[in-house]
Amino acid sequence: MDLLSEVITVARTGRPRSAYVRWHAPWRQQFASVPGSAGFQAILEGRCWLVSPHAAPVELGAGDVLFLPHGTGHTLADDPSTATTAPACAPDDPGLPGPYATDSVDRLGRDGPATVVLCGAYRLDPSRTHPLLLTLPDLIHLPADPSRHPELHAAVRLLASEVGTSRPGATAVVPALLDTLLLYVLRIWLAEQPAHGSTTGWAAALNDPAVTAALHAVHRDPAAPWTVANLAAEAGLSRAAFARRFTSMIGQPPLGYLTWWRMTTAARLLRATEAPLRTIAAQVGYTSEFAFATAFKRTHGLAPGAYRRGVHRPPVPPARS
């Protein structure tokens, strides 16, 4: 599995939710701030406005895609004036994070123009959120341009055709398409960052062959006895030059990232498998179950056994770079 795929796999928990909603003007939908989630809106037909308290309203048209990686609250409305005058839809309307669903809802209203929106939400595990996701802005707006982003728009069309149907296999294909949509959004955002002169951060790191080689080595074999020296050899740099470049771009030293990735992998294995602790410890590079348990508790604030049982404690997320 490549790095970007793993970012999505380890961060998402449970099943995503999606909804296909048709609104008739005048209308507004408030999406509450939901920490520990990420959401998207894809405008399929008509036009509407994105209204948020700290920015000017943004007009959206068919083909536009919004991605909100931190669950930031916002409002969609048929007009900026409606956003403050019309009654909001109920807070449990489709599009908000919640149990997995493939809803198709027609919001009947007056005879005003209709807007069709494809909404989706992903639950994220804060203890396993990759630092790449933490560096994303509160809102990513990808304007409609099928000639530039054909894969993204193809994924939106496929998802729209599946949501709200009872065709065989829909419950399997919808989550896969939601992950595909998220992957395309991240690809596009990362690809566009170097054009703005980015020299640090994850966008720069994934476009840097040396740092990418070291990251792939860690993700490919987290159990290997990695040192700064042999990661530098993977990167084709001297030890000092590699350590400086990696830390500058990733926001933490190479061995710090290695430990975080090992503990993130261990957390996923604890929840997804019944493997004994000694087996998981070995899979992430620890010959001693005690040493593994100590490192795991330092990262996650819980012993491995308690984490597996689902005991809750405020997570210790990786620092933003």
What CATH number does the domain containing 284 carry? 1.10.10.60
Last residue of a domain, one of 137, 165, 192: 192
Would 315 be classed as within a structural domain?
no
- Do residues 52 and 159 share a domain? yes
- Residue pLDDT, tens place only, 222-234: 999 999 999 999 9
Instruction: Retrieve residue 92's tokens.
Output: 């449990």
User: What whole-number distance in Å separates Cα of residue 211 and Cα of residue 234?
Assistant: 9
Nearest to 6 by CA among 171, 179, 159, 168: 179
- Do residues 68 and 175 share a domain? yes
Instruction: Retrieve residue 125's tokens.
Output: 């595990």
Number of domains in the chain: 2
List CB contacts of 168: < 8 A, sequence separation 6 or more.
none
- Do residues 127 and 212 share a domain? no
Instruction: Retrieve residue 87's tokens.
Output: 């009654």
Are the beta carbons of 132 and 202 closer than 8 angstroms?
A: yes
Q: What sign does the dihedral 235-237-239-244 (CA atoms) show?
A: negative
Q: Residue 55 sits in a domain of what CATH number?
A: 2.60.120.280
**Omega of the bond prior to 69 within 30 degrees of 0, cis?**
no
- Do residues 10 and 135 share a domain? yes
- Do residues 157 and 212 share a domain? no
Residue-level pLDDT at 311: 67
- Do residues 213 and 180 share a domain? no
User: What whole-number distance in Å separates Cα of residue 189 and Cα of residue 140?
Assistant: 8
Nearest to 250 by CA among 265, 231, 266: 231
Last residue of a domain, one of 131, 164, 192: 192
- Do residues 140 and 21 share a domain? yes
- Do residues 177 and 223 share a domain? no
One DSSP character per residue, 65-83 reads: EEEETT---EEEESSTTHH
- Do residues 136 and 54 share a domain? yes
Nearest to 78 by CA among 108, 43, 115, 104: 115
User: What whole-number distance in Å separates Cα of residue 202 and Cα of residue 133?
Assistant: 9
Q: What is the domain extent for residue 278?
A: 203-309
Are the beta carbons of 59 and 126 closer than 8 angstroms?
A: no
Could you tell me how many helices (H) and strands (E) the chain has, helices first? Answer: 13, 10
Q: How far is CA 265 from the centre of its chain?
A: 17
Cα pseudo-dihedral 244, 248, 254, 259, rounded to 10? 150
Low-confidence ranges of the chain (pLDDT < 50): 90-104, 108, 195-196, 314-321
The helix or strand, by DSSP H or E, that contains position 265, with its residue range, turns out to be helix 254-272
Quickly count: other Cβ atoms within 10 Å of residue 288's Cβ.
Answer: 12
Are the beta carbons of 119 and 36 closer than 8 angstroms?
A: no
Would 79 be classed as within a structural domain?
yes
